[in-house]
Structure 1
Amino acid sequence: MQAIDVARFERALANAFDAADGPRLSLETLASVDATSWPTVSFAFHPSWELLDLAAGAAARYEAARDGEELPPIEAGEDHVLFWRSADSQSSYRMVAPEERLALIEAAAGKSFAEICSLLQFFDPSENTSVVAGQFLAQWFADGLVARLSSEDGVSR
């Protein structure tokens, strides 16, 4: 499974680079959303984003193979890897925690901010989920992943 996941990793980088262009919203756009609209705000992502569940260590093995280094040992478990093309047209990736993975999947499915927070609350009832979700959003905007915001009150950015 490890070799297949290294190939999937490399393919995701190529897909991110080759993806269609699309808008990227700034953090200022996020800040401009009225507080009363937040519960119903939903998100659309840049066309280059992709989220993969890969065998643990697939990224490290890809990097070692790319750099001509000795491959690290195979690990047990799973990594969640987010791929996208950055604003400077570079294929990018980073590992995401299970909570962020859930938030990304739900956001991409059109769930509202309130619905995402509710799901995160079930994931870890001890956390302040609106703060956690807000941190995810800030990172998504910083990464250039968010292409559009919309809400039930008709606000679209």
Structure 2
Amino acid sequence: MSLHTWQRDLQASILTASDQIRQPLNQGSISREREIAVYADGYFLRLAEALQSNYPALFQILGDDDFYSLARAYLAAHPSSQPSIRWFGDQLATFLAQALPYASVPIFAELAAFEWALRHTVDAADAPLLTLEDLQAIPTGDWGQLCFKLHPSLSILSLQWNAPKVWQALMAEDAPPEPQRLPQPCLVWRKPDLTLHWRSAKPPEVHALNLLASGANFSSVCEALMSEDINDVPLRAAGFLRTWIEQGLITAA
């Protein structure tokens, strides 16, 4: 049997739990099934370790046994398909929101979404930031047609539970608060000093950011904010823009 065929069959056995190895891996006393099981267990444990690294708060809440049961269920539903293990777990929030018994505790899915957004900020692409000085150099008459790009590290989450507070307590090794329905959008991004940051945001601000993300110009953003029952829309929109620039949410590109 060629090395390529052996590798292919071994991979299929590990990924699908099938028995496709046509010859023993070696001629020792250990059985073929045991040899395959060793590789399969090692493969799973490495992926479970990656999930634990990406979702430390969720791991703390579930504990070892339940988290590893989750990892097996997730792997069965979403086999690793990326060359880099960094991306394993990118669908965990969706899985938790849809699969029982996890879907019956909705804060699990939101905690996973929050932790994945934090993970994303670590290796998101960098980009030069727009400064207030850059903005001042733009002629007043051009403002309406300006299109602003959001920093690649920014995630905009529509959370319905107090997941950030639960995460914060767990990371501080404090007792987490009880799950509480608390509808509020959340922004997660990497600040210019490379620290991770998150904060809550009001619906009008999130609406404006989503419009920018879709390619809308500043004039369209102001028009959309008029439907948000906001007084002095131009002043509020300018205030949003200043805050975004100061916090490093807008790129110069």
Relative to the length of structure 1, the TM-score reads 0.89
Residue 74 of structure 1, aligned match among 179, 195, 198? 179
1:143 maps to a residue whose letter is Q
**Correspondence list, 1:8-157, <5 A:** 8-124=113-229, 126-148=230-252
Q: How many pairs were matched up?
A: 148
Tell me if the contact between 2:111 and 2:164 (Cα under 8 Å) persists in the aligned partners: yes
Q: Which residue of 2 aligns with 1:153?
A: none
Q: CA deviation at 1:56?
A: 2.7
CA distance in 2, matches of 1:142, 1:53: 23
Highest RCO, 1 vs 2 (Cα 8 Å, sep ≥ 6)? 1
Q: CA deviation at 1:55?
A: 2.4
Q: Deviations over 1:25-78 (max 9, x none)?
A: 111111221110011111111111110111231110110111111111222242
Q: CA deviation at 1:81?
A: 0.8
**Structure having the larger proportion of residues in helix:** 2
Tell me if the contact between 1:14 and 1:91 (Cα under 8 Å) persists in the aligned partners: no
CA distance in 1, matches of 2:235, 2:161: 28
1:92 maps to a residue whose letter is H
1:38 maps to a residue whose letter is W
Q: CA deviation at 1:92?
A: 1.1
Q: CA deviation at 1:143?
A: 0.9
Report percent identity of matched pairs. Answer: 30
1:70 maps to a residue whose letter is A
Can you give the 5+ residue segments of structure 2 that lack an aligned partner in the other structure?
Answer: 1-105
Q: CA deviation at 1:5?
A: 1.0
Say if 2:148 is the partner of 1:7.
no
Q: Computing the radius of gyration over CA atoms, which structure comes out larger, 1 or 2?
A: 2
Which 4+ stretches in 1 moved above 6 angstroms?
none
SS at match of 1:104: helix
CA distance in 2, matches of 1:85, 1:74: 27
CA distance in 1, matches of 2:198, 2:122: 11
Q: CA deviation at 1:83?
A: 1.1
Tell me if the contact between 1:39 and 1:113 (Cα under 8 Å) persists in the aligned partners: yes
SS at match of 1:110: coil
CA RMSD, 1 decimal: 1.3
CA distance in 2, matches of 1:90, 1:51: 17
Relative to the length of structure 2, the TM-score reads 0.56
CA distance in 2, matches of 1:19, 1:45: 12
